[in-house]
Structure 1
Amino acid sequence: MDVVELLSELVKFDTTNDPTRGIKPPKECPKFILDTLNSWGIDAQLIEKDGYYAVYGEIGEGNPKILFMAHFDVVPVNRDEWETEPFELTIKGNRAYGRGSADDKGNVASIMLALKELSKMNLKEKVLFAFTGDEEIGGALAMHIAEKLKNENNLPEYMANADGIGMKPIIRRRKGFGVTISIPSEKVKLRGTVKERKFRVSTPILETRHAAYFLPGVDTHPMIALSHFLRNSNVLAVSLEGKFIKGNVVPSEVTLKYLEPGEGDEVEVDIGLTRLLKTIVPLVRAPIKAEKYSDCGVSITPNLYSFSEGKHVLRLDIRAMSYSSEDIERTLEEVIAFNIPEAELAVKSNEKAGYLFTHPEDEIVKAMLETLEKFGEKAEPVEGPGAADSRFFTPYGVKAIDFGPRGGNIHGPNEYVELDSLKLLPEVYKEVALRLIGG
């Protein structure tokens, strides 16, 4: 079985992770990973935590040298936007389309095949591996594994977190923070004309829906555009609907129903909703200060809206090179106090998680660059936009990189992986392990 065949089998499993709809990745996919590894003579165990699964194991002898990690859960799909069946690998030229092909089942398949070859060798030090099923909702399993290894004095020296893109070692990645802002509905009746306006996402350079890849000034976020429209008109919101998927997924489209005051029918408008939506612009421009430099700076995107128990609820995704949420909360409180003082604010982050910030001269970076050069790939260490599970290991001193194949449309429709890069990955991961172990 080659990497494309193995990826095809993995994509068939619908491992959608969508807690807002009570959907968890089923046990079948990690069981398939476990059984496949076992059939190759590789011992592994199934870990369960709160209904989510991971596969963990070790090969080799001696001290733990490197951990390979990847995740098999995927974000929800909007089938209306897909040109192919998302849970069936479809090959067109050098591209293989399917949910998870790039994020992150291509990496799962590649590591599995690398382990198959490494397991046949007399390794002087241990290679650890983990495949997790909750990365897309925060990575509690990765945190659990990191803590377990720390308590057992079994932490690896290095980590290759196979959750990157572009065939370049990612040495910096920001931490993610979740923000919830809620405001009571306040309905009044006014006369005027009811109209509707749709606002659509635009990503003209890099096609993606991943919030961490959103670049202000290049991309158009429908919720930010909607807010700008409200702030520059005298209309009032009646209701809001949209293709909301997940906290770190930019909605492809939102529809605002609004009232243009004047002569006409009496219509119920919502002052609370209007004020909340108008506040999006100052929220996404909040002057949040990070602890370390980032090419991507601080990004703030409003990706989820809902109405519950008489309150409008807006959820923001924030990415910053910061460990603590204190400065973020303090800055957002100033924005809310000025614009919507009656609103409630909650900032969530995992205080046990850090960010990725590895020196470009570190051994794992050099091992990856030398390996890539061996296979004809020219690369420099880069910063990646999104957060990843390596952030649970870096606070313990593990030197980490994130890595993955070339591909596109991460978290978006028609996600794909480029086959020429995918086919190299099993050998790349094997070579990196051998260079670090000295085999």
Structure 2
Amino acid sequence: MDVVELLSELVKFDTTNDPAKGIKPSKDCPKFIMDTLSSWGIEAELIERDGYYAVYGEIGSGKPKLLFMAHFDVVPVNREEWETEPFELTIKGSRAYGRGSADDKGNVASVMLALKELSKMKLEGKILFAFTGDEEIGGKMAMHIAEKLKSENNLPEYMINADGIGMKPIIRRRKGFGVTIGVPSERIKLIGVLKERKFKVNTPILETRHAAYFLPGVDTHPMIALSHFLRNSNALAVSLEGKFLKGNVVPSEVTLKYLEPGEGEEVEADMGLTKLLKAIVPLVRAPIKPEKYSDYGVSITPNLYSFKDGKHVLRLDIRAMSYSHKDIESTIKEVVAFNIPEAEVIVSSNEKAGYLFTHPEEEIVRAMLETLEKFGEKAEPVEGPGAADSRFFTPYGVKAIDFGPRGGDIHGPNEYVEIDSLRRMPELYAELARRMVRE
């Protein structure tokens, strides 16, 4: 079985994580991973916590030197936007399309095959591996594994978090924070005309729906455009609908029903919703000061909206090179207090998670660059836009990089991985491990 065939089997498992709808991956995919490894003589265990699963194991003996980690869960799909069946790997030319092909089942398949080769060798040190099923909703399984290894004095020196893209070692990544803002409905009746307007996402350079990849000044976020519209008109919001999927996924489209005051009929508008939506522009420009430098600075995107029990709720995704949420919370609350003082604000983050910030001269970085050069790839260390599970290991002193094959449309429709790049990955990972854990 080659890496494309293995990826095809993995993509068939619908491992969608969607807490808002109560959807989580079943045991089927991790059991397939574990059984496949077992058929190659690699023993692993299935870990379960709160209905989520992970596969963990070790090869070699002695001091733990290196950890491979990848995740098999995926974000929800909007099938209307897909040109292929998202849970069937479809090959078109040089690309393989399917949900998870790039994020992150291509990496899962690659690491599995690398482990198959490494298990045949005599290694000076242990190689640990883990495949997790909740990275897309916060990575508590990775946190649990990090804590477990810490308590057992079994933490590795280095980590390859196989959750990157572009065949470039990622040495910096920001931490993710969630902000929930709730505003009571405040309905009033006015005379005017009821109208409707759609706002659509536009990513002209890099096609993606991943919030961390959103670049203000280049990309158009439909919720920010909607806010700008309300702030520059006398329109009052009536209701909002949209293709909302997940906290870190930019909605592809939102539809605003609004009242244009003047002559017409009596229409019921919602001042609570109006104030909340108008506040989006100042919220996404909140002057948050991070702890460390980032190529991407601080990004703030409003990706989820809901209405329940008489309350409008907006969720923001914030990415910053910061460990604590305290400064972020004070800044966001200042903006909210000025614009919608009656709103409730909750800022959340996992305080056990850090950010990725590995020095480019670390052995793991140099070894990856040397390995890439051997495979004819020229690369420099870069910063990745999104957060990843390596952030649970860096606070313990583990030196980590994130890495993955070339691909695109992460978290978006028609996600794909480049086949030539993918085919190199198992051998590349095996060669890198050999450099880190000498035979």
**Shorter-chain TM-score range:** over 0.9
Matched, 1:35 2:35: yes
Matched with 2:16 is: 16
Matches within 5 A, 1:164-313: 164-313=164-313
Tell me how far apart the structure 1 counterparts of residues 367 and 3 of structure 2 sit (CA, whole Å). Answer: 22
Matches within 5 A, 1:322-341: 322-341=322-341
Matched, 1:150 2:150: yes
SS in 2 for 1:322: coil
**Residue identity in the other structure for 1:328:** I
Tell me by how many angstroms 1:130 deviates: 0.1
SS in 1 for 2:302: strand
Structure 1 residues not aligned, in runs of 5+: none
Tell me by how many angstroms 1:342 deviates: 0.3
Tell me how far apart the structure 2 counterparts of residues 351 and 110 of structure 1 sit (CA, whole Å). Answer: 31
TM-score of the superposed pair, with normalisation by structure 2: 1.00
Matched with 2:394 is: 394
Tell me how far apart the structure 2 counterparts of residues 119 and 338 of structure 1 sit (CA, whole Å). Answer: 60
Tell me how far apart the structure 1 counterparts of residues 423 and 329 of structure 2 sit (CA, whole Å). Answer: 44
SS in 2 for 1:123: coil
Matched with 2:84 is: 84
Tell me how far apart the structure 1 counterparts of residues 136 and 52 of structure 2 sit (CA, whole Å). Answer: 12
Matched, 1:106 2:103: no
TM-score of the superposed pair, with normalisation by structure 1: 1.00
Q: Which runs of 4+ in 1 moved over 2 A?
A: none
**Residue identity in the other structure for 1:164:** G
Tell me how far apart the structure 2 counterparts of residues 108 and 144 of structure 1 sit (CA, whole Å). Answer: 19
Tell me by how many angstroms 1:196 deviates: 0.3
Matched with 2:424 is: 424
Matched with 1:94 is: 94
Query: Percent same amino acid among aligned pairs?
Result: 85
Matched with 1:343 is: 343
Tell me how far apart the structure 1 counterparts of residues 84 and 241 of structure 2 sit (CA, whole Å). Answer: 26
Tell me how far apart the structure 2 counterparts of residues 137 and 326 of structure 1 sit (CA, whole Å). Answer: 21
Matched with 1:50 is: 50
Tell me by how many angstroms 1:117 deviates: 0.3
SS in 2 for 1:153: coil
* 1:337-361 CA-partner distances (Å, limit 9, x unpaired): 1100000000000000000000000
Tell me how far apart the structure 1 counterparts of residues 302 and 92 of structure 2 sit (CA, whole Å). Answer: 34
Tell me how far apart the structure 1 counterparts of residues 315 and 198 of structure 2 sit (CA, whole Å). Answer: 20
Matched, 1:353 2:333: no
Tell me by how many angstroms 1:24 deviates: 0.5
Tell me by how many angstroms 1:61 deviates: 0.8
SS in 2 for 1:67: strand
* 1:348-386 CA-partner distances (Å, limit 9, x unpaired): 000000000000000000110000000001100000000
Structure 2 residues not aligned, in runs of 5+: none
Tell me how far apart the structure 2 counterparts of residues 22 and 367 of structure 1 sit (CA, whole Å). Answer: 42
Tell me how far apart the structure 2 counterparts of residues 81 and 23 of structure 1 sit (CA, whole Å). Answer: 21
Tell me how far apart the structure 1 counterparts of residues 341 and 40 of structure 2 sit (CA, whole Å). Answer: 60
SS in 2 for 1:411: coil
* 1:191-239 CA-partner distances (Å, limit 9, x unpaired): 0000000000000000000000000000000000000000000010000
Tell me by how many angstroms 1:438 deviates: 2.0
Tell me how far apart the structure 2 counterparts of residues 132 and 116 of structure 1 sit (CA, whole Å). Answer: 19
Tell me how far apart the structure 2 counterparts of residues 25 and 315 of structure 1 sit (CA, whole Å). Answer: 23
Tell me how far apart the structure 2 counterparts of residues 394 and 309 of structure 1 sit (CA, whole Å). Answer: 41
Tell me by how many angstroms 1:437 deviates: 1.2
SS in 2 for 1:250: coil
Tell me how far apart the structure 1 counterparts of residues 434 and 408 of structure 2 sit (CA, whole Å). Answer: 29
Tell me how far apart the structure 2 counterparts of residues 85 and 113 of structure 1 sit (CA, whole Å). Answer: 26
* 1:145-182 CA-partner distances (Å, limit 9, x unpaired): 00000000000000000000000000000000000000
SS in 1 for 2:33: helix
How large is the Cα RMSD of the aligned pairs? 0.4
SS in 2 for 1:193: strand
Tell me how far apart the structure 2 counterparts of residues 15 and 64 of structure 1 sit (CA, whole Å). Answer: 30
